[in-house]
């Protein structure tokens, strides 16, 4: 229970930072996607199930903060990224320093690109392929730069609030 509250608090703080402070750090009008980065970091640390559990509230929070896309679009994209990154976790070398950062970049690129494509299809937004590619590229660079901090934060949460495994009494 405490772990869920801590993760929820982290998501709210990340959303507030993303909306209030990060617009100052725009490159070509794009800001870092901290909520997607947290989804990726938790999925890499704990697996696909945790990735999905963090992705749904993170995506819904992102959708609530945006007035231009349908509710649930970010949640759908985040769910796919959280599951995909978490499912790829067993194939990473545990001592690798570069693989998590590369996965953060790849997951962000796929997430932002997928979001751009789905929003163009569903929200009838006029986003060109070049604009979607530029947004994905800028978000990927941000994710690679911010990944070490996100992974340190998720490891801290894992250490102090471990995943509770239900006991089976026979």
Confidence of residue 124 (pLDDT cuts 50, 70, 90): low
Confidence of residue 127 (pLDDT cuts 50, 70, 90): confident
Within 8 A by CB and 6+ apart from 61, the residues are 11, 12, 15, 35
Model confidence at 34: pLDDT above 80 = yes
Assigned architecture for domain 2-160: Orthogonal Bundle (1.10)
Summarize the confidence of residues 156-162 as an average pLDDT: 92
- H-helix or E-strand spanning residue 123: none
Q: What per-residue confidence (pLDDT) applies to 169?
A: 60
Give, rounded to a whole angstrom, the gap between the first and last alpha carbons of the chain.
24
Q: What is the mean pLDDT of the chain?
A: 90
Of 42-46, 93-97, 98-102, 148-152, the poorest mean pLDDT is in 93-97
Burial of 2 (0-12, 13-18, 19+ CB in 10 A): exposed
The number of C-alpha atoms within 13 Å of 43 and in the hemisphere containing its C-beta is 33
**Of 53, 61, 48, 67, which Cα lies nearest the Cα of 18?**
61
Q: What is the pLDDT of residues 40-61, one digit of tens each?
A: 999 999 999 999 999 999 999 9
Q: What per-residue confidence (pLDDT) applies to 52?
A: 97
Q: What per-residue confidence (pLDDT) applies to 101?
A: 93
């Amino acid at each position: 229970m405490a772990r869920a509250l801590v993760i929820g608090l982290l998501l709210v703080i990340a959303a507030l930072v993303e909306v209030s402070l990060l617009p100052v750090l725009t490159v070509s009008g794009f800001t870092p996607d901290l909520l997607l980065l947290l989804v990726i970091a938790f999925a890499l640390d704990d697996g696909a199930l945790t990735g999905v559990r963090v992705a749904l509230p993170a995506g819904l929070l992102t959708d609530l903060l945006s007035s231009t896309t349908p509710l649930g679009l970010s949640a759908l994209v985040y769910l796919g990224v959280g599951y995909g990154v978490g499912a790829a976790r067993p194939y990473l070398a545990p001592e690798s320093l570069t693989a998590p950062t590369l996965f953060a970049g790849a997951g962000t690129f796929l997430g932002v690109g997928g979001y751009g494509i789905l929003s163009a299809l569903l929200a009838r937004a006029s986003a060109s392929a070049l604009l979607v590619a530029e947004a994905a590229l800028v978000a990927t660079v941000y994710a690679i730069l911010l990944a070490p901090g996100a992974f340190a934060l998720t490891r801290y949460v894992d250490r102090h609030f471990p995943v509770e495994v239900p006991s089976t009494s026979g």
